[in-house]
Amino acid sequence: MRSHYCGQLNETLVDQTVTLCGWVHRRRDHGGVIFLDLRDRDGIAQVVVDPDTAEAFANADRARSEFVLRISGRVRLRPEGTQNPKMPTGMIEVLAKDVEVLNTAVTPPFQLDEHGKVGEEVRLKHRYIDLRRPEMIEKLRLRSRISHHVRAFLEGQGFLDIETPVLTRATPEGARDYLVPSRTHPGSFFALPQSPQLFKQLLMVAGFDRYYQIAKCFRDEDLRADRQPEFTQIDIEASFVEEEDIMGVTETMIRELFQDVLDVELAPFPRMTWAEAMDRYGSDKPDLRIPLMLVDVDDLMKQVDFQVFSGPANAADGRVAALKVPGGASMSRKVIDDYTKFVGIYGAKGLAWIKVNERAKGLEGLQSPIVKFMENVIEELLDRIGAEDGDIVFFGADKARIVNEALGALRVKLGEDLNLYTRDWAPLWVVDFPMFEADDSGRLSPLHHPFTSPSCSPEALKANPAEALSRAYDMVLNGTELGGGSIRIHDPQMQSTVFDILGIGEEEAREKFGFLLDALQFGAPPHGGLAFGLDRLVMLMADARTIREVIAFPKTQSAACLMTDAPGEVGAEQLKDLHIRLRQKPKPESGE
């Protein structure tokens, strides 16, 4: 139907006849001549319709925003003074000969260039219109390029693209399962995969050696910022490998991707142990663009007569840490109060601070509600933190988990608020994760998933599970976990030991993972892998604010699709087929 995309037109086509198809972006009537901006996925072209071409003119005259038109005409240079160098097609226009209305459109719920005036809900409800916006097209185009690049790279490295089932058994990755009732097996349910983890391991047992898949994963998680109940992973697994092999190939993949797609050269990724990341950044995904660091001051605070600090400093699970903000002494009381509220979100009971106005003046030169309690250690404290005139130092004192979360988040917020970024891209590997994390009652759960290999023997693991490290690695970029993986357990005895430590008894292990335990007995090779979150990768590369911006049809934070109104109720007949009786008719949801 068309000869060119609108956005492809340029001066080289002058005097040629072209046929364009697209949507009316804007229509202007200029004293008898009609100007149409015709838009398709490649851009916008200006079309001029003259009353001389009567039929074309009549059609252009009735065209409105978002009508679908087919236009033929001659490309010509725009008259001097009317060129628009900001537009790729700004030097030319098309003088229409034929204008055909392929379809009409009712008034759209928002003008594309006025999308900012409506809430995200309106945009999500009419996503097909929102997706007409050039920025959205750009992001999805970038996404397509990224997936294409990843596929080409992995194929080139001998990885095979193999699909794994969506209707399956639970794969634990730390979230709730989405369940699908079985009609043919009354009372039984499939689980949608939280990841292809077990299948990719079984493919290694089968001998495929190198697997990848761009796979949908499903996790029913509580409302948390910027998560989607279904999301996409670049899932990778290989046999006869060690950490270096997987980290090597995936780092090369990401570096080549950045080079080819963004023309950005990333230096080899530094590595940091999990312990160091928590210690210095309060996070296992540190944003290394921000030059602020937590400093441990436990030993000093043990010596002060101030229970708020000495308590956590002396407690086995406590921590007192300082965070210096250079030049921060000018912060107002109101700003400090806001940061105090902010750390409250992470459970911190307060935010102590010292403003260093003039160090040479000793205590006199400091401004702080707490400094009077720490006279005996103040000089050593300020030396250790490297505090200079004009700085502010914040403190966290609580359980280590709370201090890390609160100061870790404050560090990122300060980086944002004060625009402290030292560079655009800061990738790194985080390694030497603990195998397990304990909740407040001491119950252990896997830090990654229960198929991750520890870096010790089953005996050592059993003897001291809380101290054991795993063979896991995460790739972090700008404070976001881009991907995570590990060398897996390939020995059935080790797998049983891990289940045992997690409180998964033999019977339950057989019931849930019998197929895996069986497979491990039939000659499982040493293997490992990694999965990237494709949505997050695209979000970072597109410089988008949320992953919703890089997903064509995302769900809201309460896991609903505003456009299709999913999830929806189903009829009694269908429920009967599925052997399901509802306990109560659900109350209508009260929106977002």
Q: Which residues are annotated as a binding site?
A: 173, 219-221, 228, 448, 481, 488, 533-536
- Kindly give, in sequence order, each residue whose CB lies less than 8 Å from that of residue 212, ignoring residues fewer than 6 positions away: 151, 154, 159, 160, 161, 234, 235, 236, 237
Computed from CA positions of residues 292, 294, 295, 300, in that sequence, does the dihedral angle turn out positive or negative?
Answer: positive
Half-sphere exposure of 475 (CA within 13 A, CB side): 27
Measured CA to CA, the distance from residue 253 to residue 316 in angstroms comes to 42
Give 415 or 485: the residue with its C-beta nearer to ligand ASP.
485
CB of 106 to ligand ASP, least distance (A): 43
CB of 144 to ligand ASP, least distance (A): 23
- Kindly give, in sequence order, each residue whose CB lies less than 8 Å from that of residue 555, ignoring residues fewer than 6 positions away: 228, 229, 230, 561
CB of 84 to ligand ASP, least distance (A): 47
Q: How many CB atoms lie within 10 A of CB 416?
A: 13
Element (H, E) at 410: helix 400-417
DSSP conformation letters of 191-221: E--S-SHHHHHHHHHHT--EEEEEEEEE-B-
CB of 200 to ligand ASP, least distance (A): 7
- The answer to whether the CB of 245 falls within 8 A of the CB of 251 is no
Burial 428-458 (b: 16+ CB within 10 A, else e): bbbbbbbbbeeeeeeebebbbbbbbbbbbeb
Element (H, E) at 45: strand 43-49
Per-residue tokens: 86 = 């900001």
Chain residues binding ligand ASP by CB under 6 A are 173, 195, 197, 449, 484-486, 529-531
Give 42 or 173: the residue with its C-beta nearer to ligand ASP.
173
CB of 567 to ligand ASP, least distance (A): 24
Query: Which residues sit in the known binding site for ATP?
Result: 219-221, 228, 481, 533-536
Query: Which residues sit in the known binding site for L-aspartate?
Result: 173, 219, 448, 488
Q: What is the DSSP-derived secondary structure letter of residue 260?
A: I
Residue nearest to ligand ASP (CB): 195
Give 46 or 486: the residue with its C-beta nearer to ligand ASP.
486
CB of 289 to ligand ASP, least distance (A): 24
CB of 237 to ligand ASP, least distance (A): 7
CB of 131 to ligand ASP, least distance (A): 28
Give 23 or 231: the residue with its C-beta nearer to ligand ASP.
231
Give 286 or 484: the residue with its C-beta nearer to ligand ASP.
484
CB of 531 to ligand ASP, least distance (A): 4
Give 175 or 371: the residue with its C-beta nearer to ligand ASP.
175
Measured CA to CA, the distance from residue 370 to residue 373 in angstroms comes to 6
Give 90 or 525: the residue with its C-beta nearer to ligand ASP.
525
Give 212 or 499: the residue with its C-beta nearer to ligand ASP.
212
- The answer to whether the CB of 39 falls within 8 A of the CB of 4 is no
Amino acid identity of residue 333, one-letter, is: R
Alpha helices in 325-399 (DSSP H): 333-344, 378-385
Query: Angle at Cα 118 formed by Cα 114 and Cα 121, nearest 5°?
Result: 135
Give 59 or 195: the residue with its C-beta nearer to ligand ASP.
195
Q: What is the DSSP-derived secondary structure letter of residue 560?
A: -
DSSP reduced 3-state for 98: strand
